[in-house]
Structure 1
Amino acid sequence: MDLTKKLLISAMASAMLVGCTVPGSHLNIEDKAVVKVSQEESNISEQVNVYPLTAKMVSSFKTPRVISKQNPALDAEIAQYQYRIGTGDILNVTIWDHPELTIPAGSYRSSTEAGNWVHSDGTIFYPYIGLVNVAGKTVTEVRDEMANRLKKFIESPQVDVNVAAFRSQKAYITGEVNIPGQQPVTNVPMTLLDAVNRAGGLAEEADWRNITLTRNGSEERISLYALMQRGDLTQNRLLRPGDIVHVPRNDAQKVFVMGEVNNPQLLKIDRAGMSLTEALSTVGGINELEADATGVFVIRGNNSQEESSDTLANIYQLNIKDASALVIGTEFELQPYDIVYVTAAPISRWNRVVRQLLPTITGFNDLSEAALRVRTWP
């Protein structure tokens, strides 16, 4: 065996040895149970629709603009609102011209201290007439009942009943507000907007487009963006005892910008929303040396019930080879979990292949030169 063959065998043995100890992590699936997928299921191309974003078509993809609306149903509900007494409330009962019945413990005690506590059985005790069932009734109903029962002992009693302390009924506001916690339900109607304001307003990380109102086990999604920013009063609600208003974090309000851009990253959609052009601007624009300006794509998973179940995703393509097309991108509003992907130009992809081959080619050239030097060694 001549020296050249020995050199080649040594080089191959070294390469095989190095291949067994390559640094870094690796996942080998050959020795694992791989789930077989049919050819029909593996063909993703048939499950994706591609729509070009043109000046004429972009309007059909725009999210309907929220407009200001009145809420006559809420106005009527507020006009008819009456507080109903509950266990734990304190009532203040006044019998005109009979101070001994009004404040029997002395005139220097507050209404809360001298009032009538609603017991766990829903009753209060009052002189002469004994137990009065007040739970679930309005102050007007309690006043009429007490006046009728006191007629036996007082001529033409003038009775006034009001709630001195509201303690029985509460609504709750949780999540991304500045002062989360419980808020008492009183004789003054409290709407969702009132509750948010009493809680100190929304926190910086609040997702105000997906507020949830839970009532009697049912959950309703409400947009405070439409209510507070656009004046859509149909999003407002009159809160009832036991309601839970939750303001989530905006963690789900994110889009992914990838591919040939100057600073690929995850972006969060702010309260005003985010357009395609705004997302590209935030990441420093496309990489002018590597990107294919005709291939700016928005990949959107199919979460709509209106789309066919066979559609996996919709892809929207924007051609910004003419930079004026970025105006079209300002009209295309991104949605949570959209993927903005900018493809590489064909020459860039070819250059990457070449860069992968260069080390191997260089290694073979060095090996050939070494063998040549050995062969010509005197």
Structure 2
Amino acid sequence: MRHSRQRLAALGLASMALLAGCSLAPGSHMTYQSDTAPIDELVSIEPITPGLVSSWQQAPAGHPMSDELNVALAAYEYRVGPGDVLSIIVYDHPELTNPGGTDRSAAEVGNRVQADGTFFYPYIGRVSAEGKTVDEIRRELTRRLAAFITEPQIEVGVAAYNAKKVYLSGEVSEPKTLPITSVPLTLVDAISQVGSANPGANWHSIYLNRNGRQEQISLYELMRNGDMRQNRLLQPGDILHVPSAENQAVAVMGQVIRPGNIPLGNERLTLTDALARSGGINEISANASGIFVVRGNDPSSDKLATVYQLDVRNAASFTLGSRFVLEPQDVVYVTTAPIARWNRVISLLLPSIRLPGVASDSITDTRDL
């Protein structure tokens, strides 16, 4: 992972050099040779424009629950499994209702479903329960007891839910298993039952693992913005993992007052926020047209990364930066002037660039060069 991030940063920085060289020296021809990869084929260049940031803006409005989840909740029925304990009441027949006496709970004296999916009941013997609803079990008991009891009146419930569970792990108040019961268990319900996610949790990317497949869900959008489309009906065997936010950071490098890492936490920062937290750009050495954000692309993309460029020679352009929301592991870089100096040292900088955490070292290296 560390090597891939190093490679991404190196390629991104090289692309910034090529972009800045073209934008600041029109018509110039660079005659030096480099052994680096053809960066222009590996990255996409995007200027940060009003149209770009507007296309990313989303109204902070909640969204209703999906039709799929509504249908699933309406059709939900709990089906009994091995390990469940059934509570069976036969009215007017206390010897069948509570043979262990009244001093013990229904979970202690109830009928436990065995590993083969059946339980034993007086008079009628083994009764199949696995995969059936309590109403289906009640009807079978009524039919079979009718041979011994006149018009039996029976009620069946689950005294202890032991058969089906979901697992919560990671940055939650109390990692634990939660039983699947007759009441449908949604993602919101599960998180609420363990006391919500910890402050150090990554609310933007939690993971639902089901049958060998993983789905990424934004708990932030669900809990903070009311986007109920993120909610899910949990199923037996689901694993819900809430990761830590320790890797939720951006690296700010180049001609800023305090280069380094900025943790994002659960609140997203804008480009302007990141520059401000780094002490602002160095007005003596920074190139106002060379503020770049290097962002890795999806592995399925033909391009390794996208490089976004912000030109703040007009100070009003900082308003665009205040609308450009950074993502975890973005690299913000402010180039130095003159750009020709950067072009000369880029081939020496690429093998030694390191991030995150040592951004200030790389700046010193460049100055030494």
- Which range, TM-score by smaller chain? 0.7 to 0.9
Distance across 2 between alignment mates of 1:56 and 1:129: 74
Q: 2:317 corresponds to which letter in structure 1?
A: A
The structure that has the greater radius of gyration is 1
Is 2:96 the counterpart of 1:128? Answer: no
* Offset at residue 114 of structure 1 (A): 1.8
Matched with 1:278 is 273
Is 2:212 the counterpart of 1:217? Answer: yes
Matched with 1:53 is 48
Distance across 1 between alignment mates of 2:96 and 2:276: 75
SS at match of 1:266: strand
SS at match of 2:287: strand
Distance across 2 between alignment mates of 1:81 and 1:344: 62
Residue pair 2:207, 2:240 contacting (<8 A) in 1 also: yes
SS at match of 1:73: helix
Is 2:102 the counterpart of 1:107? Answer: yes
Larger displacement relative to structure 2 (218-227 or 176-185): 218-227
Matched with 1:345 is 337
Matched with 2:326 is 334
Structure 1 segments, 4+ long, off by >4 Å, are 38-41, 63-67, 347-350
Q: Give 5+ residue unaligned stretches, structure 2.
A: 1-32, 346-364
Matched with 1:237 is 232
* Offset at residue 46 of structure 1 (A): 4.7
Q: How many residue pairs are counted as aligned between the two chains?
A: 313
Is 2:146 the counterpart of 1:151? Answer: yes
Q: 1:168 corresponds to which letter in structure 2?
A: A
The TM-score with structure 2 as length reference comes to: 0.78
SS at match of 2:295: strand
Deviation digits for residues 350-370 of structure 1, max 9, x if unmatched? Answer: 9xx9xx9xx9xxxxxxxxxxx
Matched with 2:9 is none
RMSD of aligned Cα (Å): 2.7
Larger displacement relative to structure 2 (140-149 or 75-84): 75-84
Is 2:306 the counterpart of 1:314? Answer: yes
Taking a change above 3 Å as real, the CA distance of residues 69 and 151 of structure 1, as seen in their structure-2 partners, is: same
Is 2:45 the counterpart of 1:68? Answer: no
Alignment of 1:1-378 (within 5 A): 42-60=37-55, 62=56, 64=58, 67-70=61-64, 71-303=66-298, 305=300, 309=302, 311-346=303-338
* Offset at residue 268 of structure 1 (A): 2.3
Residue pair 2:47, 2:310 contacting (<8 A) in 1 also: yes
Distance across 1 between alignment mates of 2:136 and 2:109: 21
SS at match of 2:45: strand
Taking a change above 3 Å as real, the CA distance of residues 161 and 290 of structure 1, as seen in their structure-2 partners, is: same
The TM-score with structure 1 as length reference comes to: 0.76
* Offset at residue 254 of structure 1 (A): 2.1
Residue identity (%): 47
Distance across 1 between alignment mates of 2:263 and 2:45: 25
Deviation digits for residues 65-114 of structure 1, max 9, x if unmatched? Answer: 56422223212211221111111111111011111211122222221222
Residue pair 1:290, 1:348 contacting (<8 A) in 2 also: no
